[in-house]
Amino acid sequence: MTRRVGLIGGMSWQSTAEYYRLLNELTHERLGGLHSCELLLHSVDFADIEQLQVAGDWDTAGERLASAAVGLERAGAELLVLCTNTMHKVAPVIEAAVSVPLLHLGDATAAAVKRAGLDTIGLLGTAFTMEQDFYRDRLASHGLDVVVPAAEDRALVHRIIYDELCLGVVREESRQAYGGVISRLREAGAAGIVLGCTEIELLIPAGATDLPVFPTTRIHVEATLDHVGIRQR
């Protein structure tokens, strides 16, 4: 018997829609027929969370997401999934508020990188994810060396996420700009690239670069289905 998944989403809704789509598509692929994923979703107003990010008020942001987690648990969720990389900064606050497990995106991503046989990885994400230690250290705890872009490239990557991708805007010039960032990460020693922001997958699809790419949304979804026992027949 599978477990009901609780999604904490809305950061942004663009990537949460990808979570919903992939959870159901991959459930169907694995089980066939009319199967879909049994889940609950609490989608927050990202404008509120983004203001807290900019203000550095991570305590309040953590309280907001922990409250969402508690509500999902009360509604019957048996596994929690936080549909964003950046807000894993407050994952410990969420975990402390509930009794059901939170499937950490950083752990799932690191496992995928290790399965690919890589140990030095480039990280793309929001400035918070690239510059703070909560995500890099989580990857490093699995034995990975993490390379981040230079300051100018970090600013470019962050701007495109918030000004374009979170709004559903996908521009070819931005794809090319990201390609340049990836090339410079390769020169810095990265053997693969973690797309450490769920929206980046809208811009960098599979095959867009000849380096191995690790799309964290799909990785997280696959790990979620494995965790709840929805496996390929």
What is the average per-residue pLDDT within 86-94?
Answer: 97
pLDDT in tens, 141-187: 999 999 999 999 999 999 999 999 999 999 999 999 999 999 999 99
Which residue's entry shows tokens 């670069």?
Answer: 209
Q: Taking the CA atoms of the chain, what radius of gyration do you get in angstroms?
A: 17
CA 189 → CA 26, 112, 127, 149, distances in Å?
Answer: 33, 19, 20, 11
Locate 124 and state its tokens: 């793309």
pLDDT in tens, 46-57: 999 999 999 999
Is residue 43 a contact partner of residue 11, using CB atoms and an 8 Å limit?
no
Mark 127-146 as b/e (b = at least 16 C-beta within 10 Å): bbbbeeebbbebbeeeebeb
Q: What pLDDT, on the 0 to 100 scale, is given for residue 202? A: 86
Q: What pLDDT, on the 0 to 100 scale, is given for residue 143? A: 96
Q: Do the first three CATH levels of 5-104+219-227 and 106-215 match, i.e. the same topology?
A: yes
Give strand ranges (E) for 68-224: 79-82, 120-124, 145-147, 193-195, 213-215
Is residue 30 a contact partner of residue 232, using CB atoms and an 8 Å limit?
yes
Instruction: Report residue 2's pLDDT band, with 50, 70 and 90 as the boundaries.
Output: low
**Cα gap 98→100, rounded to integer Å:** 6
Instruction: Report residue 208's pLDDT band, with 50, 70 and 90 as the boundaries.
Output: confident
**Cα gap 197→125, rounded to integer Å:** 5
Average pLDDT, the chain: 94
CA 18 → CA 53, 58, 150, 220, distances in Å?
Answer: 23, 25, 29, 11
Q: Is the Cα dihedral 163, 164, 165, 167 positive or negative?
A: positive
Q: Where are the domains of the chain?
A: 5-104+219-227, 106-215
pTM of the model: 0.93
What is the average per-residue pLDDT within 116-133?
Answer: 96
Q: What pLDDT, on the 0 to 100 scale, is given for residue 34? A: 95
Per-residue pLDDT at 45 exceeds 90: yes
Class of the 5-104+219-227 domain? alpha beta
For the ranges 71-80, 169-178, 182-191, 199-208, which has the lowest average pLDDT? 199-208
Class of the 106-215 domain? alpha beta
Q: What pLDDT, on the 0 to 100 scale, is given for residue 207? A: 74
Beta bridge partners of 121: 146
pLDDT in tens, 11-36: 999 999 999 999 999 999 999 999 99
Beta bridge partners of 40: 6
Catalytic (active-site) positions: 84, 197
Strands 39-43 and 79-82: unpaired
Q: What pLDDT, on the 0 to 100 scale, is given for residue 213? A: 95
